[in-house]
A = this chain, B = another copy of it.
Amino acid sequence: MMQFPLLLKTFLLRAAKYFPKKEIVSVYPEEIFRYTYADYYKRTCQLAHALNAIGIKRGDRVASVALNNHRHLELYFGVPCSGAALHTVNFRLPQNHLAYVINHAEDRVLFIDEDLVFFIELVKDQLKTVKQYVILSQTGKMPQTTLSPVVLYDEWIAEFPETYDWPEDLSEWDPALICYTSATTGDPKGVVYSHRGLILHSFAVGCMLGVMERDCSLHIVPMFHANAWGGPFGGVGFGCKQVLPGRELMNMEKICRIIADEKVTFTAGVPTIWMMLYNYLEAGGWHDFSSLKTIASGGSACPRFLMEGLNEKYGFPIMQAYGMTETTPLALAAVPKSTMDHLSPSEMYDVKSSAGILAPGLEMKIVDEKGEEVPMDGKSWGEILLRGPWIAKEYDKDPERSKPVFAGGWLHTGDVGTIDAEGYVRLVDRTKDLVKSGGEWISSVDLENLIMSHPSVLEAAVIGVPDPKWQERPVGCIVVKSGMTLTPDELKAFLKDKVKANWWIPQQFAFIDQIPKTSVGKFSKKELREMFAAGKMPLSG
């Protein structure tokens, strides 16, 4: 077979030549912008020329500070196809982390949404490598800014030709995108995605979730969060219609309108979003989900009641998927097998609410503390280890922290799970969030899900706290739904027949206003532990 490298250029050219009339839709506060892959392609060519003109070379890194819009999608292909790598910056990081990731990646150019300029202004004096700021503006006006030198993207690229000779000598191993994980301890860790990894991930997503040309893909996951979970790459490669919701990704009324108007078939997102959607729907919010085919929930465990509620009451065909920044991200998806069509609805939700079955192209082991594979009995716990062509091999320029995570050629996910005889994995906990009480393990996640199934509970997180007698005991941190009340005794009674053993039931609860979240919307148990350690948690029990 030909020594033909797997490059994003091949996907881009296919869309431009053979799907020139298919649409990209980008939602802005004042307008819904539409253009075609033919238009899109011309601007990626102009962008590539513009990068060359300011001396950006193969292997250089440039960064985006942007939400999900059509200019960001131009960067997704224009930058890597020209030979540079695109660092998609999570602008919600704390300031010190924001400056850290840009310096650590050695970003030479920053592409910034016009309404996100503020975030960069705050850290600009700490940035060591940036030599050009470029504003992504839909209004066409240069915002008031202290950033310099600065240009408007549309004006900057406009002078360049609409065709480009994409380099053919790139290696498929060359960096294409870079994401930093929002590290719970220490500085963020960079993951570099190769052209090869992104192409193979796109194919696997297509074959696993059935995404193809016919699909209209709505990108709810921020484009700085693990490549928007890969959707934009397969989207271009397969010629899908793509919809970018911009700043409206938390606006459930708008999202429901977009799904109906654009006939969206596929989307993905974190449980926080689905909880917002569910609350919107429960309040009688308008929706028409008739076009939807497949919805993937990932990032953290989606409570089963939420999946059942969305599916059964509203025909929102949600299932779980599993992955992380280090896995591009899709590693598992809870697609029921064709041999499971006879299952009862309840059994079917057991499947759909699992973390899923391994994607084709990857290899997995679930190992106990001795490194032995646990039996496929749906009960035995172990850490999930993954390897494959779209699994990271290291953290960028960080051999020290890479060593334990990537030991032996496997990614040690830090997630603890079971696997059943059919191959479906169920997450038990993060290795570091497990609560060890009297020598026995308690899964904080299982406990949270049980607590969140109480009708008065909006959100719940469980952390382990030191205990003189039992080593550790779980504490339930609870947000009660507005207008409702709940006491520790009521909760304990509710949990009594549901927990695996009575000693799983927390003695202590903390009723708080909100669960602190990480910058990508996950529960921050680190912050909860700090609150507890500082004596700032209002315990009752």
Contact = CB atoms under 8 A, between A and B. Distances in A.
Interface in A373-388: 376, 387-388
Interface string A401-433: 000000001000000000001110000000000
A264 to B, nearest CB: 12
A344 interface: no
A358 B18 contact: yes
Interface string A229-273: 000001001110100000000000000000000000000000000
Interface stretch (A24-32, A137-145, A314-322, A390-398): A390-398
A22 interface: yes
A362 B197 contact: no
Interface string A11-40: 101100111111000000000000000000
A1 interface: yes
Contacts of A391: 1-2, 4
Given A212-B210, A213-B338, A214-B338, A393 B1 contact: yes
Given A10-B361, A337-B239, A339-B21, A390 B203 contact: no
A238 B360 contact: yes
B206 A423 contact: no
Nearest to A337: B213
B207 A388 contact: no
B422 A389 contact: no
Interface residues of A, number: 63
A13 B363 CA distance: 8
A93 interface: no
B360 A237 contact: yes
Given A2-B391, A6-B389, A212-B208, A199 B339 contact: no
The 9 closest A-B pairs by CB, nearest first: A18-B423, A203-B203, A206-B207, A1-B197, A214-B338, A2-B393, A1-B194, A237-B360, A4-B389
Interface of A: 1-4, 6, 10-11, 13-14, 17-22, 173, 192-194, 196-197, 199-200, 203-204, 206-208, 210-216, 234, 237-239, 241, 328, 335, 337-339, 357-358, 360-363, 376, 387-393, 409, 421-423
